[in-house]
Chain A
Amino acid sequence: MIEAHDLSVDLGGRRILRGVDFSARSGTLNAIVGPNGSGKTTLLRRLTGDLAGAGLVRMGGRVVDGHDLRQLARRRGVLAQSVQVGFSFTLREIVQIGHAAGQMGHVPDIVDKAIAEVDLTHRADTPMQALSGGEQARAHLARVRAQIWQPVFEGTPSWLFVDEPVAALDIGHQLQVMAILRRFADRGGGVIAVMHDLNLTAMHADRVVLMEAGQIAAQGRPEDVLTDRRLSHAYGCAIRTNHAPASGVWLVPQAGATDQGMAGQAIAGHGGLRHG
């Protein structure tokens, strides 16, 4: 259980986060959504302790700020939006660094399993700089997974904090990454993900937190939060949600009457891939 009370963050003299209460249960995938500048990443970074500010964050009842870092590294993994690697470490070496710091440092084959999970076994000995942006993003997910391999570790749920994990990925790998996070939650771990893609959020999240101007505008089940009225208000544009024939909520941006047909096609393609 992650519980946070009255979180505020000031950056550059501006209040980015305004007294946010947040909680998330293990076994669930929690998505933080909202327009640019609404404070999604700031909330995540305040929850992980990267940003200092008012309020308290508790993980499993213990305050996160000032928690022993090495212990914390075995309970929680954090995947930042972009990570620049100094020196020419190979993908495998990067995953090994995470693995050595994590839960299963004594079980060497976790490294290969984590690399296989993101489908990069054939690139394992390639220097990170030689990987594409999407491959790098997946490599870092593999690193965090090698660190936090067990959704439940020593009887306590583990947590993954991920900031836009699918931003650089093509649609197939977006679904692959979301499936990894989904599986982690289904097996008892907790996931808190800042999400840009509302469709993927609707498909995979158990709970959605909608941010607006540094505050939580709405939170709850995807079908309750991702509504036409709420989304249109938060994102400042007309948004119409819809249901695909298969299942789940589908969102179609309403840019203009002439664009509607195209948007509908794009969504149909999305659904086809998911089920195909």
Chain B
Amino acid sequence: MSTGALACGPVRRLAPAGRRRVGPVMAGLCVVLALCAAISLSLGASGVGPWQMLSRDLGPADTAIVLNIRLPRLCLGAMVGASLAVSGALMQGLFRNPLADPGLVGVSSGAGLGAICAIVLGGALPVGLTAMAGPYLVALFAFFGGLISTLVLYHVATRGGQTSVATMLLAGIVMGALAGALSGIMVYLADDTQLRELTFWSLGSLGGATWVKVWASAPLLLGAIVLAPLCAHGLNAMALGEATARHMGVRVERVKTASIVLVAAGTGAAVAVSGGIGFVGIVVPHILRLLIGPDHRALLPAAALLGAALLIGADTAARLIVAPAELPIGILMALIGAPVFLWILLRRRDGLEI
């Protein structure tokens, strides 16, 4: 190995032979996630702290804070983080490119447009029905918005299995602009109550977490997280190109369709409940590829764990930094994610595929 190591020093440094320690990394991620969850549950603007929780010295009001405010928020954060990270990893596998991210290429904007449509047009429904079906409707519309934009994007940017990165990113910008314009029309049509709702939603926060929101979004979010590994072998093979994947027995069209639907579900539902939280889908898979390699069989579950931990951690920080007020988590994620993204670009400039 001596001469080989010398001949390709930089690459080996970034991707050492012993990096593929999947087991320990997975175990570590589980521990980190559990720690983040425990901290998130025991810290907050109200006085209920970790020692109180451990000593079981909680009054009814404190119990309500933990069970009805912090716990649903924790569940929602974990699901949203996991599904954003998994959607990112899926999309990068689909496009064979580590820069593909639902937030960057307009899928989130499409999902957002869907959510806005649901909020505004839902007003046409009878009041009782809106109250009952509202959260589900928003999640569902966001899913379809995400689905349509992913399909359009894929067909514009990919020809014969080859994705043009420039086309993909440009198409993403255009789709974002289009979705923005259509959203503007929707805002114009909205009445005062809906405007209030829209404003809160667009801030991008887990602040409004309720059990209703958790249940409304869980089917799509968990569906995306749990079903994604089914695409893993297919995406691994597709990293060698579509024709080669076919020769290895992969039904490429199926894997593509499944990935697109799962990305739309994961991103759509996440956007519906938490507004725009960017960069999770690009930062998490990137870090994990450095740790355990690009094998999607390990990458997708690991992305779910790290995505959940990252978002819970960021949300806890967002609640505490300016307590009792809250920093929108979208801002915090952009602060973390943007530099990491620039770092990825700098590394790619050296001609290294990630």
B350 to chain A, nearest CB (A): 11
Is the CB of B21 closer than 8 A to any CB of chain A?
A: no
Is the CB of B122 closer than 8 A to any CB of chain A?
A: no
Selected from B14, B15, B239, the residue in CB contact (under 8 A) with A86 is: B239
A121–B240 alpha-carbon span in the complex (Å) = 21
A197–B193 alpha-carbon span in the complex (Å) = 76
Is the CB of A127 closer than 8 A to any CB of chain B?
A: yes
Q: Is the CB of A73 within 8 A of B97?
A: no
A77–B247 alpha-carbon span in the complex (Å) = 7
Q: Is the CB of A69 within 8 A of B246?
A: yes
- What is the total number of residues of chain A having a CB less than 8 Å from a CB of chain B? 35
Residues of A within 8 A of B236 (CB): 89, 97
A48–B354 alpha-carbon span in the complex (Å) = 31
Residues of B within 8 A of A42 (CB): none
A127–B15 alpha-carbon span in the complex (Å) = 7
A160 to chain B, nearest CB (A): 11
Selected from A69, A72, A73, A89, the residue in CB contact (under 8 A) with B239 is: A89
Question: Across the two chains, which residue of chain B brings its CB closest to A68?
Answer: B249
Residues of B within 8 A of A74 (CB): 249
Residues of B within 8 A of A97 (CB): 233, 236-237, 239-240, 248
Selected from A78, A101, A129, the residue in CB contact (under 8 A) with B237 is: A101
Whether A89 touches B293, Cβ cut-off 8 Å, given contacts A97-B236, A97-B240, is yes
Interface residues of A in 78-134 (CB under 8 A from B): 78, 80, 83-90, 93-94, 97-98, 100-102, 122-123, 125-127, 129-130
Q: Is the CB of B352 within 8 A of A129?
A: yes
Interface residues of B in 1-26 (CB under 8 A from A): 1, 4, 7-8, 11-12, 14-15, 17, 20
Q: Is the CB of A100 within 8 A of B239?
A: no
A74 to chain B, nearest CB (A): 7
Selected from B4, B239, B246, the residue in CB contact (under 8 A) with A87 is: B239
Residues of A within 8 A of B20 (CB): 90, 93
A73–B98 alpha-carbon span in the complex (Å) = 28
Whether A89 touches B352, Cβ cut-off 8 Å, given contacts A78-B247, A130-B12, is no
B47 to chain A, nearest CB (A): 48
Q: Is the CB of B15 within 8 A of A88?
A: yes
Produce 1/0 per residue, B317-354, CB < 8 A to A: 00000000000000000000000000000000000111
Q: Is the CB of A87 within 8 A of B353?
A: yes
Residues of A within 8 A of B247 (CB): 48, 73, 76-78
Produce 1/0 per residue, B244-258, CB < 8 A to A: 101111110000000
Whether A129 touches B353, Cβ cut-off 8 Å, given contacts A72-B249, A86-B96, A89-B295, is yes
A84–B244 alpha-carbon span in the complex (Å) = 10
Question: Across the two chains, which residue of chain A brings its CB closest to B294?
Answer: A87
Q: Is the CB of B244 within 8 A of A78?
A: yes
Question: Across the two chains, which residue of chain B brings its CB closest to A97?
Answer: B236
Residues of B within 8 A of A14 (CB): none
Q: Is the CB of A90 within 8 A of B240?
A: no
Residues of B within 8 A of A73 (CB): 247-249
Question: Across the two chains, which residue of chain A brings its CB closest to B249?
Answer: A73
Interface residues of A in 122-162 (CB under 8 A from B): 122-123, 125-127, 129-130, 147
Interface residues of B in 90-113 (CB under 8 A from A): 96-98
B101 to chain A, nearest CB (A): 15
Q: DSSP majority for the A interface?
A: mixed
Is the CB of B289 closer than 8 A to any CB of chain A?
A: yes
Question: Across the two chains, which residue of chain B brings its CB closest to A82?
Answer: B241
Is the CB of A70 closer than 8 A to any CB of chain B?
A: yes
Produce 1/0 per residue, B14-40, CB < 8 A to A: 110100100000000000000000000
Is the CB of B230 closer than 8 A to any CB of chain A?
A: no
Q: Is the CB of A127 within 8 A of B240?
A: no
Is the CB of B152 closer than 8 A to any CB of chain A?
A: no
Is the CB of B151 closer than 8 A to any CB of chain A?
A: no
Is the CB of B181 closer than 8 A to any CB of chain A?
A: no
A227–B263 alpha-carbon span in the complex (Å) = 58
Q: Is the CB of B293 within 8 A of A147?
A: no
Is the CB of A170 closer than 8 A to any CB of chain B?
A: no
Q: Is the CB of B241 within 8 A of A123?
A: no
A72–B239 alpha-carbon span in the complex (Å) = 20
A217–B91 alpha-carbon span in the complex (Å) = 47
Is the CB of A50 closer than 8 A to any CB of chain B?
A: yes
Residues of A within 8 A of B12 (CB): 126-127, 130
Residues of A within 8 A of B4 (CB): 122-123, 126
Residues of B within 8 A of A129 (CB): 11, 352-353
Q: Is the CB of B248 within 8 A of A86?
A: no
Interface residues of B in 235-285 (CB under 8 A from A): 236-241, 243-244, 246-251
Q: Is the CB of A69 within 8 A of B249?
A: yes
A199–B238 alpha-carbon span in the complex (Å) = 35
A176 to chain B, nearest CB (A): 18
Residues of B within 8 A of A123 (CB): 4
Residues of A within 8 A of B352 (CB): 88, 129
Chosen A-B contacts, 19 in total, with CB atoms closer than 8 Å, are A73-B248, A78-B247, A85-B240, A86-B239, A86-B240, A88-B289, A88-B293, A88-B352, A89-B239, A93-B20, A93-B295, A97-B240, A101-B248, A101-B249, A101-B250, A102-B248, A122-B1, A122-B4, A123-B4
**For the complex of A and B, 4 pairs with smallest distance between CB atoms:** A73-B249, A86-B96, A87-B294, A125-B17
B-side interface residues toward A, CB under 8 Å? 1, 4, 7-8, 11-12, 14-15, 17, 20, 96-98, 233, 236-241, 243-244, 246-251, 289, 293-295, 352-354
A-side interface residues toward B, CB under 8 Å? 48, 50, 69-74, 76-78, 80, 83-90, 93-94, 97-98, 100-102, 122-123, 125-127, 129-130, 147
